[in-house]
């Protein structure tokens, strides 16, 4: 497992090592901003793929 909230998140390495999911508590707002940006990027990519199929 890889922490998708923060790059090089040593604080959460125990969760990852034990294959437990992280509940996201204590995650800085900037991490959520990255997730939102990635979501928008993936949605855009999905729309492009759907347009190619039409």
Answer with the residue of higher pLDDT: 21 or 54.
54
40 part of a folded domain: yes
- How confident is the model at residue 51, as a pLDDT? 94
- How confident is the model at residue 3, as a pLDDT? 60
Q: Measured between alpha carbons, how far is 9 from 15 in angstroms, rounded to an integer?
A: 10
Averaged pLDDT for residues 14-36: 68
Averaged pLDDT for residues 48-53: 94
45 part of a folded domain: yes
Answer with the residue of higher pLDDT: 29 or 4.
29
Secondary structure (3-state) at 30: helix
How many domains are contained in the chain? Answer: 1
Residue span of the structural domain in which 20 resides: 10-53
Nearest to 5 by CA among 46, 52, 38: 38
Averaged pLDDT for residues 24-47: 83
3 part of a folded domain: no
Q: pTM of the predicted model, to two decimals?
A: 0.48
């Amino acid at each position: 497992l890889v922490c998708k909230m923060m790059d090089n998140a040593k604080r959460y390495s125990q969760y990852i090592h034990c294959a437990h999911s992280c509940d996201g508590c204590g995650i800085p707002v900037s991490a959520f901003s990255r997730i939102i940006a990635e979501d928008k990027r993936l949605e855009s990519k999905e729309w492009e793929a759907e347009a190619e199929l039409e």
